[in-house]
Amino acid sequence: MDNKNLKGWLYLLPAFLFLGIFMIYPLIDVFVYSFEEGYNSASQTFSGTGLYNYSYVLHDPYFLQAVQNTLLLVGITVPLSTGLALLISVALSSIKPLRNLFQTVYFLPYVTNTLAVGLVFMILFKKTPYSDGLVNLLIQTFGGDSVDFIGGPYWAKMFVLCFYTVWVVMPFKILILTSALASVSQTYYNAARVDGTPRWRIFTRITLPMISPMVFYLVITGFIGAFKAYSDAVALFGTDLNASEMNTIVGYVYDMLYGDSGGYPSYASAAAIILFAIVLTITCINLLVSKKHVHY
Amino acid sequence: MKILLQNLTKKFPGRGKKSSSEVIAVNNFTFEIPDGKLVGLLGPSGCGKSTALNLICGLLKPTDGKIFFGEDDVTNLPPEHRGVGLVFQNYALYPHLTVLKNITFPLENLRGADKLSREEMEKRALEAAKLVQLEGLMDRKPSELSGGQQQRVAIARALVKSPKVLLLDEPLSNLDARLRLQTREEIRRIQRQTGVTTVFVTHDQEEAMSISDMIVVMKEGVAQQIGRPQEVYDEPVNLFVAKFLGTPPINIFRGQVSGGRLYIGEEAVLALEGTTDREVTVGIRPEGFIPREDGPLTCHMTRVEVMGRDISVVSTHPCSATVSIRSIINAESMVDPDARTVRFSIKPHKLYLFDSETGERIPFTARVC
């Protein structure tokens, strides 16, 4: 190996060291843990290797609940937030006056403190002995019965969780999409106008394909982000997510490690590997779909 | 379809907060484009020629004036109802669509009675492609085509819906020199073949002169001269037009008319009548010089450039407004390249007089002296 090559590796060494210690080693370790049966964290011993951890996790009703919640969350929030963000960005780029103001307003959630957001949602949705929350007030005004969104039926809680997630992830998507829209050259629109292209067709045949790489990027990162959701649920429903039926896969992993029923790194690892497999599959499907519909 | 522009004016609001002055891009432009002709809008950058084109196609609305297509007033008609095909300077081909899809794109917008079946669309697209000699490239993406091919796709896309008027915005400026020559012939051929009234914008006078039936020379939003290329070249109405047309450019001298003679410096180069004694700007086309031992105009020789068929004599004169004088003469005339001075007599019809203040042409008749 010549001198120059050696120097190159030397420069890469710090990054390699950090990645190795904090990323690659833990990843491999999780994989190894997930196959170690009867692991005891106090004595750091295990009784054998096999698939028992996976079988346990997959038969755990809490895990199945968490998977159901996560899939619902992903399935609802990713298309909804991306679609809404697209709608808002298109609207934003078609207005001139007050555009900057609206852009700032839409971006505010991104820079707002999570606790402040939690408080806002509390005021909106939480039922207390003194008040039913703002949303219930609205529902009552229109003659409906008030719903306990935080401690009530499953669908109400899921609605709040999805609403919260969409609201939190939208600003970033709007930011990305407005800049993507701005980068589409005006001449394409002029060309389409001269040919008498209806607005809807301009959007689907020109605008959308032109910004498709960015939309695709948002969908992929949106999927991954939603699969990793945990803190949002905690912010809304507290730490005992299993009790409120609102746990997510990452929440389950956390509970298995540190929660009240915790101390089972093997189960946690198995759950984490299952999550990894799901995300990998979805991302691969995304990539396959994108080959056909994304134009670089 | 003949096009009539009547007192067309387009003003843009001034940019920036401080300058409230508006920019007049096109100023009181009146012009009739006869049916089936190829017309070149010619002028330097920023003269308003592209604005004029955008007004004709309807992407811009005039501040004042009217536009007629045939007998119809289309001033307030949006572009899609004018029946125009527009070729953009950068082609504006949709990068994610194939050549075929790009060409059929305008057809897919047709609705109601004009609606076409997929086969019909592809047939029309293929006809258009054949016209611009693009068959065989229909499945490619624009990024897989050369500049000239992209240009032809853009033309095919503009032609496929059989527009009444074809508009080309700087159609050749993104092509290399050889391709430019080829493509301009191509544009001429396509225009002849389809007989569609065509307006194209260019800053290249050679391009405009070579293929246009008519040219419009513009400057600062005002049409300076409208006419057949040769006509405009031979009879420029002012100094700007004279300077703008012709390669090599016209040679400019400071001169004086006095007692029926035109003086450049001390030398009387021409006897003339029909004009009063005054200071003038003299323009002489490069081909207007005849080298003669006893010629009236004495220049200091810089060098002789041999170009085969012609030779180009580069010289200087104290009264010249340009750095050097360039004259094109027949290679058979003998010019001694080592001589220190060269004397010319001038062809009177290649010499123009302009008012030294306004630049307007001063008519005169040459007299044999």
DSSP-derived letter for residue B22 is P
- Report chain B residues whose CB lies below 8 A from the CB of A194: 57-59, 79-80, 84-86
The answer to whether residue A73 scores a pLDDT higher than 80 is yes
Chain B residue numbers with beta carbons less than 8 Å from the beta carbon of A190 are 59, 86, 88, 92
B64 C-beta neighbours (distance < 10 Å), count: 14
Residue spans per domain, chain A: 58-111+151-293
A133 Cα to chain B: minimum distance (Å): 48
Distance between A85 CA and the closest CA of chain B, angstroms: 23
Ranking A229-233, A256-260, B59-63, B127-131 by mean pLDDT, the lowest is A256-260
Please answer yes or no on whether A201 and B85 come within 8 Å at the CB atom: no
- Given an 8 Å threshold on Cβ–Cβ distance, is A197 in contact with B90? no
Around Cβ B284, how many Cβ atoms within 10 Å?
25
- Closest CA in chain B for residue A292: B96
Partner-chain contact A194 B95, CB within 8 Å:
no
Chain A residues in contact with B94 by the CB 8 A cut-off are 188, 205-206, 209
pLDDT per residue, tens digit, chain B (369 aa), is 889 998 989 988 876 665 567 888 888 888 899 999 999 999 888 888 889 999 999 999 999 999 999 888 999 988 888 889 999 988 899 999 999 999 999 998 887 777 888 888 989 899 888 888 888 889 999 999 988 889 889 999 998 988 889 999 988 888 888 888 888 888 899 899 889 999 999 988 888 888 899 999 999 888 999 999 999 999 999 999 999 998 889 999 999 998 888 999 888 888 888 888 889 999 999 999 988 888 889 999 998 888 888 889 999 999 998 889 999 988 777 777 788 888 998 999 999 999 988 999 998 888 765
Phi, psi of B3 (to 5 degrees): -115, 135
How close does chain A come to B229, measured CA to CA in Å?
A: 30
Q: What does the pLDDT read at residue B157?
A: 92
Using a CB-CB distance cutoff of 8 angstroms, which residues of chain A are in contact with residue B95?
210, 295
Mutate: best of B56, B82, B109, partner A, most A CBs <10 A: B109
d(CA A286, CA A216): 8
> To the nearest whole angstrom, how far is the Cα of A189 from the nearest Cα of chain B?
9
The conformation of residue B13, written as its DSSP 8-state character, comes to P
Which of left, alpha, beta for B284 (phi over 0: left; psi -120 to 50: alpha)? beta
CB contact under 8 A, A194 and B90: no
Q: Where do the domains of chain B lie, and which CATH numbers do they carry?
A: 3-244 (3.40.50.300), 251-367 (no CATH)
Nearest CB to A195 within list B95, B96, B106: B106
pLDDT of residue A222: 92
pLDDT of residue A291: 83
**SS3 (DSSP) at B174:** coil
Report the range of poorest mean pLDDT among A36-50, A89-103, B151-165, B279-293: A36-50
HEC per residue, B198-254: EEEEECCHHHHHHHCCEEEEEECCEEEEEECHHHHHHCCCEHHHHHHCCCCCCEEEE
Of B80, B85, B94, nearest to A188 by CB-CB distance is B94
Q: Is the pTM of this model over 0.80?
A: no
Å from B336 to nearest chain A CA? 56
Helix (H, G, I), strand (E, B) or coil at B3: strand
For B159, name the nearest residue in chain A, comparing CA atoms only. A195
| Interface contact flag, B109 A195, Cβ < 8 Å | yes
Fold adopted by A58-111+151-293: MetI-like fold (1.10.3720)
Strands B214-219 and B38-42: parallel
Residue recorded with tokens 């302009």: B354
Which chain B residues are Cβ-neighbours of A187 within 8 angstroms? Answer: 88, 90, 92
Answer for the pair A217, A247: CB distance below 8 angstroms, yes or no.
no
Nearest Cα residue in chain B from A209: B96
* Cβ pair A197:B105 closer than 8 A: yes
Shortest distance, CA A193 to any CA of chain B (angstroms): 6
Question: From CA B153, how far away is CA B134, in angstroms rounded?
Answer: 7
Q: Give the C-alpha separation, B50 to B55, whole Å.
A: 9
